[in-house]
A and B are shown apart, each in its own frame.
Chain A
Amino acid sequence: GAVVSQHPSWVICKSGTSVKIECRSLDFQATTMFWYRQFPKQSLMLMATSNEGSKATYEQGVEKDKFLINHASLTLSTLTVTSAHPEDSSFYICSGTSSTDTQYFGPGTRLTVL
């Protein structure tokens, strides 16, 4: 199957700093990418839908100014957590849609804000 990578796999940062997470589709072009968030022992919650070359669509309750999403190419989407706080600590997972309309998930990025 197709491969989606995320970088970094884990990151620790100080409160108030910004963190960028990259999501790459390695062997396919993803016109649509999704960003999910998973709290410990909980399910995945959709944060936003990202279409290449256009603004992301955010789910209700997700602050677009805090979680900046850029989808500049068909193989890369980035999520930047701005002015991170401890409550932003979570597992962030992206997925990309292939030409066969199948979603492939990245391995996730664990963010810890001190």
Chain B
Amino acid sequence: AQSVTQLDSHVSVSEGTPVLLRCNYSSSYSPSLFWYVQHPNKGLQLLLKYTSAATLVKGINGFEAEFKKSETSFHLTKPSAHMSDAAEYFCVVSPIDTGRRALTFGSGTRLQVQP
């Protein structure tokens, strides 16, 4: 069984300040972990994924996430928020590195960026 918990349903930051979106996971297997972003009325876009290689994963648009097995966490960070980062972010877990398994989504974190 696997699950993912996004600790904050809503995060608000000022433009130019750091972003931290928290995610904890539970998995019976070595997990693959993903972060997806969903802008209003748009499809899901993959930001980054962890598949048992480097624990620090760099993604698109300046985002990165660090896999910490001891803490079962996969928090998403960005040094400096941009207005265009405002969106819904989903932490996602899959039991193994195969797209043939369905993904388990967290509840989502809405990121608001203040000017």
Contacts and interface: CB of A to CB of B under 8 A. Distances in A.
Interface of A: 1, 4, 31-32, 34, 36, 42-46, 49, 93, 95, 97-98, 100-108
Nearest to B100: A32
A101 B102 contact: no
Contact of A101 (B46, B99, B103): B99
20 contacts: A31-B100, A34-B102, A36-B105, A43-B90, A44-B103, A44-B105, A46-B102, A46-B103, A49-B102, A93-B44, A95-B103, A97-B99, A100-B99, A101-B97, A102-B46, A102-B99, A103-B99, A105-B36, A105-B43, A107-B43
Contacts, number: 49
Contacts of A105: 36, 43-45
Contact of A1 (B36, B42, B46, B90): B46
Question: Do most interface residues of chain B lie in helix, strand or loop, or is the interface mixed?
Answer: loop
A32 B99 contact: yes
Interface of B: 36, 42-46, 90, 97-100, 102-108
Contacts of B44: 44, 93, 95, 105
Question: Do most interface residues of chain A lie in helix, strand or loop, or is the interface mixed?
Answer: strand
B90 A44 contact: yes
B102 A43 contact: no
A31 to B, nearest CB: 8
